[in-house]
Amino acid sequence: MTQTTSLFHYPPGKSYSDYNDLNFKPDFIDLSALEENPEATDICGDNKQCLYDFITTGDKSFAQETMNLVVEQQEAQNDIKPGTIST
């Protein structure tokens, strides 16, 4: 991506170069080893988002909060009833 091909619009005082980091390297983590960690599996089970947060932050409470949000989202999805909308 270059500045001329970018589809983004930038706020006043900002430009393509403020957001483009050519040195950025994504953090790929092997979660399979962590799944055998009893502390991680107690908190996260097999939830990948929770396991990722556990290993990248090392913070049990942060991972627990992620798991709480996952459960909350699942419960909300279960509460959605299929139906029709009439006008």
Tens of pLDDT, residue by residue over 48-72, are: 899 889 988 889 999 999 999 999 9
Q: What is the model's pTM?
A: 0.59
- 3-state class of 55 per DSSP? helix
Residues with Cβ within 8 Å of 8's Cβ and at least 6 positions away in sequence, in order, are 16, 19
- 3-state class of 69 per DSSP? helix
Query: How far apart are the C-alpha atoms of 15 and 28, rounded to whole Å?
Result: 28
The pLDDT score that the predictor gives to residue 31 is 67
* Domain ranges (residues) in the chain: 28-78
Q: Identify the residue whose tokens are 């959605």.
A: 80
